């Protein structure tokens, strides 16, 4: 028990770390960035195929921006700054592509099934889909369903 207490609280410091606001920002960035692996793993295990949910890209973006700010304003180390200076570009691009793909889905007028973009016929009932006239539905991150007229 004493060794565990010593591991958590050592030399008057939590985990032996000299804490500051920037240390909290840096460790928060580490925690957010690391958590994306569990999100992606969970989504893949749930569907039994490799998937990358949008939450993965949001966590990547938030974590990398926290780590970049830590590197820029606290660490001021060129290697660390460069490591996170450009990673936000593919994260934002992937979020844009995810959103455009979700918005391009077509709702079948006959049975209300959501069909993949550019589908000619409904997956469920076989009814012809009219891309220009059918409303598309997108599911927001909160699970709400939002209609978008096409």
Q: With respect to Zn ion, which residue has the nearer C-beta, 62 or 108?
A: 108
The distance of closest approach from Cβ of residue 107 to Zn ion in the complex, given in angstroms and rounded to an integer, is 9
The distance of closest approach from Cβ of residue 112 to Zn ion in the complex, given in angstroms and rounded to an integer, is 7
Instruction: Judge whether 50 and 42 are in contact, CB under 8 Å.
Output: no
Q: Which residues of this protein are in contact with Zn ion, per CB under 5 A?
A: 108, 110-111, 113, 122, 124-125, 127
Q: With respect to Zn ion, which residue has the nearer C-beta, 102 or 108?
A: 108
Q: With respect to Zn ion, which residue has the nearer C-beta, 39 or 108?
A: 108
Alpha-carbon gap, residue 26 to 94, rounded angstroms: 24
Q: Are strands 13-14 and 106-107 parallel, antiparallel or unpaired?
A: unpaired
The distance of closest approach from Cβ of residue 123 to Zn ion in the complex, given in angstroms and rounded to an integer, is 7
Q: What is the dihedral of CA 67, 71, 72, 77, to 10 degrees?
A: -160
- In sequence order, the β-bridge partners of residue 107 are 114
Alpha-carbon gap, residue 84 to 88, rounded angstroms: 8
The distance of closest approach from Cβ of residue 120 to Zn ion in the complex, given in angstroms and rounded to an integer, is 12
Q: With respect to Zn ion, which residue has the nearer C-beta, 32 or 122?
A: 122
* DSSP-H helix ranges across 20-107: 21-47, 54-70, 78-85, 88-103
């Amino acid at each position: 028990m004493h060794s565990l207490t010593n591991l958590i609280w050592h030399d008057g410091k939590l985990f032996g770390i000299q804490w500051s606001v920037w240390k909290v920002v840096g460790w928060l960035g580490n925690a957010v960035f690391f958590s994306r692996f569990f999100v992606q793993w969970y989504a893949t295990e749930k569907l039994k195929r490799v998937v990358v949910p949008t939450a993965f890209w949001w966590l990547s973006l938030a974590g990398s921006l926290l780590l970049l700010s830590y590197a820029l304003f606290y660490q001021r180390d060129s290697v660390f700054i460069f490591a996170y200076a450009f990673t936000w570009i593919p994260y934002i691009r992937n979020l844009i592509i995810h959103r455009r793909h979700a918005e391009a889905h077509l709702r079948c007028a006959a049975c209300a099934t959501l069909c993949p973009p550019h589908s000619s016929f409904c997956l469920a009932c076989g009814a012809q889909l009219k891309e220009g006239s059918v409303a598309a539905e997108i599911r927001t991150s909160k699970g709400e369903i939002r209609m978008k007229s096409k």
